[in-house]
Amino acid sequence: MVRIAHQVGRMVQRQWGQWQSRLGRRLWALGLVALSAIAVAACNPTQFTTADIATSRIVSSNLSDPKTFNAVLNDESPNVFLYITRGLTTQDGLTGEVVPELAESWDISPDGTTIVFTLREGLQWSDGEPLTADDVVFTYNEVIYNEEIPTSSRDVLRIGQQGLLPEVTKVTDRQVQFTLPEPFAPFLRTTGLDILPAHALRNSLEERDSEGNLRFLSTWTTSTPPEQIICNGPYRLQRYIPGERVVFERNPYYWRKDDQGNSQPYIEQLVWQIIESTDNALLQFRSGGLDLTAATPDSFALLKREEERGDFTIYNGGPATGTLFLAFNLNQASRNGRPLVDPVKSRWFNSVPFRQAVSYAINREALVNNIYQGLGEPQISPISVQSPYYAGPEDGIRTYDHDLDKAKALLEGDGFQFNPAGQLLDDQGNRVRFTLITNSGNKIRESVGAQIKQDLEKVGIQVDFQPIAFNTLVDKLTDSLDWEAHILGLTGGIEPNNGFNVWSLEGSLHAFNQQAQASQTPLEGWVAADWERQISDLYIQGAQAVDEDERRAIYVETQRLTQEYLPFTYLVNQLSLGAVRNKIDGVQYSALGGALWNIYELTMTD
């Protein structure tokens, strides 16, 4: 599924293995030298013990602490589950092909509605307990399908206009059958969903807290001792120090072995340092404290000069698979009688000419040249360029080249006017002004926001740009729904249906017009535009279509609509660039998988 990406540049989005997700994070200026020194010292590898130093490890960084240790409740990328949990299938990081993971094989009926997966023999959980078909059935039937559990995993499994879910039944201890109500083209790609341990979590679904909520919702939080998190991936949690680091240790019960029968992965530890600034992360990499980092546009030239001296390689994975966009809150609903968005501003945001004018006013070429240093190109689609369903201008997809005259004409044609000072007023004389947020610590994203503020000033719009903490931003988008406009990113990948949780009207990441989730205070007066419903319906049809030409035609139409009505105003698709120490052997870097997609077979040299 698509997740909110908060990666350090596109490389980290890939590096942490999301197939496109996806939210992201960026610039936080260094400030006082003393504060920088404190930040660097807080994650200095010299703090490891002598025993630690003898351990093979890869040290990377992330801009914020994890939000949860419960995989099914996670909606952010990167996340700890990229290392500690696995599903029935996975995706090859180079080709995007679906390949076996916990399942060794599968059989599909001629009509495509019955799929039987056979699990690998001898699978175990990280506590040594057997992993069987019972765990698969538990994960789907009792957790993912449970309407009391707010999970985006459920969205990508819904089939047809009725949103029916596959029937999951146990055949034997090693075989599970999925019965679909109708053929569902992207089904195999959805079976990469993380499998959870029934023996550790079933009780939490049978008990409730004092407020009547399932105890599962408060199980495996970031305050849970890491050794209590039972998982099935190549690594398991060893230690978590809030604000400092997450340490992963090799899972001795992981199923993979090499051709000589040696257990994989080979590298004993992964360390995820919490460094709340891309500038400080770059400083740590250059000083040898990190083994890999994003080669972001603002750091690329510096890193390239230091490549040989620093004994690292900068990999170019081609265009990144994720998206970067500006979005307005189109939600016209109220909660407890109070509108989520000021009705005056809501009228602006819900005007298609207003959104198109904003898009024309944004100078993407300047973004590419000044902020991305030429390492990217204007972005026009929610579907990744690597996907066979991607559509460009040659397919009739609308583009928005920088044109202030068109922007002003659209605004005036929509009833807006300019006062003598050049400020934009609506038809009732209200000054057009809104707050634009993004996640702090993400240098590129903060720079983009600063330029958009300047661009929109040229058409009389005042933008109050406010970078905020990533977790606060996520809460606004998914819980309080209290925001006006934001700059964010989503993960991407080969299969468009993995973004169904974004485009479905009920999707958990339908962020531009979000409905309340099951556990939240309901909304009053929620409405959807005709084009919004059409996109949702087309995504359902795209999943139903088995013929590839028909599928592509459907997704081309979705891209035409997204560019015409602009629920997201897409900005820049940068190159996926990553700097990796040469002591890490076996790296097969790609935009789809990043540096660590094949972590199980990577080795390290002295």
Inform me whether the pLDDT recorded for 476 exceeds 70: yes
pTM above the 0.85 mark? no
Whether residue 165 lies inside any domain: the answer is yes
Domain contains 463: yes
Separation of alpha carbons 356 and 349, rounded Å: 10
Q: Is residue 70 part of a domain?
A: no
pLDDT exceeds 70 at position 515: yes
Final residue before a domain boundary, out of 199, 230, 265: 199
Which of 159, 174, 199 terminates a domain? The answer is 199
Residue burial 575-603, b: 16+ Cβ < 10 Å; e: rest: bbbbbbbeebeebbbbbbbbbbbbbbebe
d(CA 302, CA 344): 46
Which of 169, 199, 229 is at the close of a domain? 199
Q: How confident is the model at residue 519 (pLDDT cuts 50, 70, 90)?
A: confident
User: How confident is the model over 443-467, as pLDDT tens digits?
Assistant: 899 999 999 999 999 999 999 999 9
Q: Name the pLDDT band for 15 (thresholds 50, 70, 90).
A: very low
Confidence class for position 14, pLDDT limits 50, 70, 90: very low
- Across the range 490-508, mean pLDDT stands at 91
Cβ-based neighbour number of residue 215 at 10 Å = 14
pLDDT attached to residue 298: 86
Mean pLDDT (the chain) is 90
Q: Would you give the DSSP letter of residue 514?
A: P
CATH number of the domain that residue 499 is part of = 3.10.105.10
* Mean pLDDT calculated for residue range 157-173: 94
pLDDT value for 76: 82
| Residue 113: how many other CB atoms lie within 10 Å | 17
Asked if residue 132 has pLDDT above 90, the reply is yes
Tokens of 60: 């990377």
The 10s digit of each residue's pLDDT in 139-159 is: 999 999 999 999 988 988 999
pLDDT of the residue at 176: 98
pLDDT of residue 2 exceeding 80:
no
- Residue 337 pLDDT greater than 80, yes or no: yes
Task: State whether residue 145 is helix, strand or coil.
Answer: coil
Return the HEC string of 114-144.
EEEEEECCCCECCCCCECCHHHHHHHHHHHH
Q: How many CB atoms lie within 10 A of CB 121?
A: 9
Query: Domain containing 135: what range?
Result: 89-199
pLDDT tens sequence across 367-415: 999 999 999 999 999 999 999 999 999 999 999 999 999 999 999 999 9
| Confidence label for 6 from pLDDT (cuts 50, 70 and 90) | low
Average pLDDT over residues 342-357: 98
Paired strand residues for 540: none
- pLDDT category, 321, cuts 50, 70, 90? very high
More confident residue, 25 or 166: 166
In the predicted structure, residue 38 carries a pLDDT above the cut 70: no
* pLDDT for res 5: 66
Determine, yes or no, domain membership for 259.
no
242 pLDDT above the threshold of 90 = yes
Helix, coil or strand: residue 423? coil
Lowest-confidence segment of 22-26, 276-280, 289-293, 309-313 by average pLDDT: 22-26
- Are 222 and 68 in contact by the 8 Å Cβ rule? The answer is yes
Whether 176 is in a domain gets the answer yes
CA distances from 204 to 74, 309, 505 (A): 17, 53, 30
**pLDDT tens, position by position, 551-597:** 999 999 999 999 999 999 999 999 999 999 999 999 999 999 999 99
Torsion angle in degrees (nearest 10) through CA of 577, 582, 587, 590: 10
* Average pLDDT over every residue of 322-344: 97
CA 351 – CA 325 distance, rounded (Å) = 18
Q: Check whether 44 has a pLDDT greater than 60.
A: no
Express each pLDDT in 176-194 by its tens digit. Answer: 999 999 999 999 988 999 9
Domain co-membership, 373 together with 515 = yes
Counting residues of the chain whose pLDDT is more than 90, the rounded percentage is 82
Note whether 194 and 328 are same-domain residues: no
Residue 156 lies in a domain: yes
Before 297, cis peptide (omega within 30)?
A: no
**Where residue 184 sits, what CATH number does that domain have?**
3.90.76.10
> Which pLDDT belongs to residue 12?
36
Structural domains in the chain (count): 2
- Confirm whether 383 is domain-assigned: yes
Q: Which has more pLDDT, 61 or 13?
A: 61
User: Residue 307: inside a domain, yes or no?
Assistant: no
